[in-house]
Amino acid sequence: MASKDILVVSLNPEEGKLFLKEVCEMPVLAESGFAEVHGSEVDLQLSNGEDVGEIVEGFGGAIIMVHFMDLITVEKLRGIYKVFERKPDFDTLIAVYKPMGQNIFKVSCLECGQKMWIPDNRQGATGHCPKCKQAFELTRREDHVRMVLGLVEGIPVVQVAEEDGSSFKSALETLLGKASNEKDAPDSGGRTKLRIKKK
């Protein structure tokens, strides 16, 4: 079986380290660790996103952590996602990070770029940009991320919440479950996607 690691990409290093802390079996080094999922060992490596184009070849999948969706962040995330999207046999999952007690989500107006904080309890309502007055639907964080990043069908988008440590491991399990399902139905080249070390 082909052997590859998983890259955890976070524009905020502290949020990435929190992800590793929540999923790794032993105390993690500054930027790497391993996790056991369903009896298999998975190596994880943290990246701030600046080097993904150079290091992507060593990995079979990635979890991209998203906290804010302002214009600057969106452009960085799109660039990272495009690197992964071009790589054949590469699994990607988007993990939308919700810090402890934070019930608002920072976005930018898609028309004028005005930064706005959207309360979670307003999902489903119609909002208006305070600057250009453009109307928009207030959606769940995950739905907003999927739409703004233009993710292809099949890319999982899940929420990881600081107050629910198990949500981080669940995100990793979702990525590995996606890879496992695709491995069971290999492409015409018979390739598999992620390294899963059997103990």
Number of domains the chain is built from: 1
Q: What is the pLDDT of residue 177?
A: 85
Q: pLDDT tens per residue, the chain (199 residues)?
A: 233 589 999 999 999 999 999 998 776 667 888 888 877 888 999 999 999 999 998 898 999 999 999 999 999 999 999 999 998 889 999 999 999 999 999 999 989 999 999 998 988 899 999 999 999 988 999 999 999 999 988 899 999 999 999 999 999 999 988 655 554 444 433 333 343 333 3
Determine the Cα–Cα distance for residues 187 and 184; give it in Å rounded to an integer: 10
In a domain, 136, yes or no: no
In a domain, 157, yes or no: yes
Q: What is the pLDDT of residue 29?
A: 65
Q: What is the pLDDT of residue 31?
A: 86
In a domain, 24, yes or no: yes
In a domain, 50, yes or no: yes
In a domain, 27, yes or no: yes
Sign of the torsion angle spanned by Cα atoms 185, 191, 194, 199: positive
- Give the residue from 172, 140, 163 showing the smallest Cα distance to 65: 172
In a domain, 171, yes or no: yes
Tokens of 48: 């701030």
Provide the whole-model pTM: 0.85
- Burial of residue 85 (number of CB atoms within 10 Å: 0-12, 13-18, 19+): middle
In a domain, 109, yes or no: no
SS3 content of the chain, % helix, strand, coil (to 5): 30, 30, 35
Q: Residue 84: give its domain's CATH number.
A: 3.40.50.300
CB 81, CB 49: distance < 8 Å: no
Domain span holding position 40: 5-100+141-198
Determine the Cα–Cα distance for residues 40 and 137; give it in Å rounded to an integer: 41
In a domain, 105, yes or no: no
